[in-house]
Chains A and B, each alone.
Chain A
Amino acid sequence: MSFRETLNLSEGAVLLLGNEAIARGALEAGVDVATAYPGTPSSEILEALISVRDRVGFYADWCVNEKVAYEVAYAAAASGLRAIVAMKHVGLNVAAEPLMSSAYTGVNGALVVVTADDPSMWSSQNEQDNRIYGFHSYIPVFEPYDPAEAKDMVKYLFGFSGEFKHPVILRTTTRVSHARGPVTLAPIPKLGRERNIGRFNKEERYVLVPSIARRDKKELLRRWESIVKRVNNVPFNRIEGSGKLLVIASGVSYGYVKEAAERLGESVTILKVGTPYPIPRELVLRSLDESGANKVLVVEELEPLVELQVRSLVNEVGINVRVVGKELVGLPYEMTFTRAYRALAKALGKDVAEVGWSAQRKPQAPKLPPRPPAFCPGCPYRPFFYAFRKFLNRSGIDYIVTGDIGCYALGRNPPYKLQDIVIEMGGSIGTANGFSIGTPQVVFAVIGDSTFYHAGLPPLVNAVWHKLPIITVILDNEVTAMTGHQPSPASRLNGQYIPPENVVRGFGVNFVRVVDPFNVGEVENALKEAVAHVRTAGKPAVLIVRRKCALEALRALRRAGVAVPKFSVNKEKCVACGICYRVFACPAIRKGSDGKAVIDAALCSGCGVCADICPAKAIEPIAEAGSVRSLIDKYWR
C-alpha cells in the first residue's frame, strides 16, 4: 500500500516505513508547513508529505539546503503555524546557526526538527551523534525505537513544542527511518481543507541583537527548567520489569535490550528512554529506588550522552551505584543484538561463551568478489570520468581532483580513480580554493548540480573574488539523483529552472563551457581549454557537463512507450582490447571467455557511448542507427 493510499484510512494497522510513519504523525497533528533538503536516511519524510500535500491542504516542498529549510519552517512556526523540517544528520550542521538561535527566540506555533542520523555510515561521511545538538542548543531531543513509536512521537511533539513555544528535535537513525513496521493510524484532522495561514506578531524576542539575546538567554533557561521537569511525564519514558540490574536504553537500543534479556532468560529492570536529552531525572531515581539496583547499564548508540547524564545525576544525588556503559557496549557503529546481548551478559556477571548460542559448522566458502556500487548503465557521469581520466593520462599534468557528495563520488573507484578528497557538501570548491593557494598543482573541483546550489555558490564566489585558478566541473544531471531523484534548481520539471551557466556568468566567470558527456571528444577538448585558461588568465574556469540522469531518461522513455534502443558487439570486428569493459567499465558490458566484449541486453540502456569510443567500431545498434540516435536525443538531453 502506498503512502497516498493510507490517506483515506483513519484506523487499523498498516506497514509503514519509519520515515512515512513520521510523515503520518505530522499529518495527524495537523501540520501546516513541511520543508527539507534530501539526504539518506531522511528523504522519504518529505517525499511522503509532498505526495499528499494537495489533498490534505498544507505546504510541503524541498529547499535549496538545510539552513534555508530550517529558516522556512522556523518562520512558519514563529507565525503561529505547525511546522516540521527534516534532514540527515550532517544537514543539521548546515542548519546549526538558525537551530541555535531558534532556541533563544522560541517560536509561536510548533517546530519539530527531524534529524535522521546514520550510525555505521551506510550512506554518509561520518556518524556524528546529533543528540548532542540538544545539549549544545537547549533543545529537547526525542528518540523513537521503531516506526510505530516514531509516528506517536511526532504527533506528540507538535503538542509539546506548542506547549513550551520551543523547538524540539526528533532524532531517528537509519534503522528506524528505514525500518518498516506496523503503525496504527488515527484520523487526519485537516484532510481537504484550505491551507492554514498564520500571522507573525512582532515581538522583540525575535531580534537577536546583543541586548535582546542576553534577555532571551535567561528566558531560555527558564523554559529549559520546565522542560527538564516535564520529560518525566512523557509517555515514551517508562520503567519495565524488575531485577537488580537497571538497564537504561535509549532509542533503537531498547528493542535489542528487550530481546537480549529475553534470550538470556534474566529478569532486569529496564528504563526505556525516549528523551535522551534531557534524561528523565526523576524516573531514573525512581527506577533505582524501586528496583533496588546495585548496578546500572546504559545501552545507547554512539556517544555516551545518556551515560554521562546518569553518572552526573547519581553523583549529584550521592547514590552509591555502579554505572557502566560504553566500556561494555562499545562506542562506534550502530547497535546490534550481539552488542546488547554481550553487554547485558557481562553486566550480569555471566560468561558470554557459556550463554551464547551454539557455534555452527562452517564449510569452506568459495572466494567471493566484492560488489561495490557503480554508476548505472547509461549514467552520464561514466563517459565524463572516462574522458577526464583519458585527458589527464594524456596531458601528464600534476593535478588534484576535489570531490563532493553525490553519485559522482563513485568516480573515485577504479578504473577512473578521480577524486582525491571528499569531505562534505560544497567541499569540492572550497578545498579547491585552498589547494590552488597552497600547491602548484592544477585543481579540478567536481560537484553535482544539486550540491552546487546547496553549498557550492559561496566558495565559487570566493574563487572569482580572489582570482583563483581552479576548474570547477558541474555535473548537471538536472536532479538530486542519489537520494531518490528529488528536484533541484537545475531541474526543468517544475519550479523556476535556474541554469548553472547563467549563475556562474553572473558571478563573473569568463570561461564557461556547457558540454555533452556523451560526446567524449568534446569533453576532452573543453578540459584542455580550461587548463590553458586557468594557467594563462589565472582565474577560475567552469565546465558544465549536462545530460539527464539515466534513470530519469529511461523512465521518460518508458512513459512514452518507447522501447530502449539496444546495442550489441559485432564479434568479427571486436579486437578484444577491453576498453569498453575495463576502461569505460559499463556494467552492461562484460568480458567474454575469448576476451571479446559481450553486451547484456537486459542491462543496456542504449546510451550508445560505447559504440562511439570503440576503436574497432565493433559495437552496433540492434535497430537502425539513425532512429536510435534521434530517440536518445529526444528523450535524453
Chain B
Amino acid sequence: MPLNSIVVGVGGQGILTLTRVLASSAVARGVKALVSETHGMSQRGGSVIVHLRIGDDVYAPLIPEGDGHLLIGLELVEAVRYSYFVRDDSVIIVNRRVIPPSLPDAEVPTEDELLKYLRELAGDNLVVLDASAEAQKLGNPVGANMYVLGYVAGLLSRAGVVSIDSCRREVGKIGKGRVREANIKIFEKGLSEGIRCERILKSICKASGVCRDS
C-alpha cells in the first residue's frame, strides 16, 4: 500500500520544493514516488495542493478523495480546505499560521477555530508545528517549509521510505549564502523533532501500511 500525502498551502510558501525533496529522497532510497503539482495561475498567491504518493505500487498521479493518509499543511485555512482528502485514521501535520487571502472583506476563521476542526478530524493524530516561528527565529522568515520538511523527513526516514542524507544534500542546494545557512538550521531543527515522534510514526504506519524496516 502506498503512502498518500496531500501537501497544501499558499502559493509562494515553498510547497513544491518541500514535496520535491521528499519525493527525490524516496527515489534515492529505491522507493517509487509520484508527485502531482499545481503550476501556472494557481501560483500567484493562490491555494496550492500537491499530491505525493510513495510506494512501489503507485501508478496514478492523483490521490482519491478520502484516501489521504497524511495531510501536510503549511497554512491552516488551506489545511482545512483540503481536509476532505483525509480518512478517520489519517495524520495531519500543520504549521501554526493563518494567511488571510488578499480579498479585503474576506471573513477568515481564527486559528483556534481552524485547529479545533482539525483536531475533531484527526484527534491525537494532529500535530501542530510552530514552523513559521522557528524559521523566523533561525533567520529565514519564509523558511517554514524547511522546518516541516525536516519534521516529515525525520518521520518517514524512520518508516524506511526516505533518505535523510539525500534530503540534506538537496536542502544544501536551496538558496544562497545566509538564506541557505538558515535553511539548513531550520531543516535540522524540524528533523530533530520529527525523528523522535514515535507515536505519530506508528499512526502513519498504521494508516498507510507503507513502513519498511529501517
Contact = CB atoms under 8 A, between A and B. Distances in A.
A64 interface: no
Nearest to B32: A182
* Residue among A123, A259, A372 facing the most chain B CB atoms (10 A cut-off): A372
Nearest to A180: B35
Interface stretch (B101-109, B150-158, B192-200, B205-213): B101-109
B113 interface: yes
Find the residue from B43, B80, B104, B117 having the highest chain A CB count within 10 A: B104
A367 B34 contact: no
Interface string A367-409: 1111111111000000000000000000000000000000100
Contacts of A180: 20, 23-24, 33-35, 37
B77 A363 contact: no
A145 B59 CA distance: 9
Interface in B47-104: 47, 57, 59-67, 77-78, 80-81, 83, 86-88, 100-104
Interface in A347-367: 357, 360-361, 363-367
B207 to A, nearest CB: 13
Contact of B40 (A368, A369, A371, A483): A483
Interface stretch (A50-58, A438-446, A508-516, A583-591): A583-591
A409 B108 CA distance: 26
Contact of B46 (A334, A360, A373): A373
A85 to B, nearest CB: 20
B100 A255 contact: no
Interface in A161-183: 175-176, 178-182
A374 B103 CA distance: 9
A15 B28 CA distance: 9
Given A1-B170, A365-B80, A371-B47, A585 B101 contact: no
B121 interface: yes
A41 interface: yes
Contact of B101 (A252, A256, A365, A372): A372
B24 A15 contact: yes
The binding surface of chain A is classed by DSSP as loop
B39 A363 contact: no
A371 B34 contact: no
Contact of A181 (B10, B35, B46, B83): B35
Contacts of A578: 104
B46 A371 contact: yes
B181 to A, nearest CB: 15
B89 to A, nearest CB: 10
Contacts of A146: 34, 59, 61
Interface in A329-357: 334, 336-338, 341, 357
A337 B64 CA distance: 6
A122 B40 contact: yes
A142 interface: no
A369 B109 CA distance: 8
B44 interface: yes
Contacts of B141: 602
B61 to A, nearest CB: 5
Interface in A598-615: 602
A232 B95 CA distance: 52
A88 B90 CA distance: 37
A482 interface: yes
Contacts of B41: 40, 122-123, 373, 482
A277 interface: no
Contact of A367 (B23, B109, B170): B109
Nearest to B37: A178
A337 B77 contact: no
B40 A366 contact: no
B121 A363 contact: yes
18 contacts: A15-B27, A122-B41, A145-B59, A175-B62, A176-B61, A178-B36, A181-B34, A256-B59, A334-B62, A336-B62, A361-B88, A369-B77, A369-B103, A370-B101, A371-B78, A578-B104, A582-B105, A587-B45
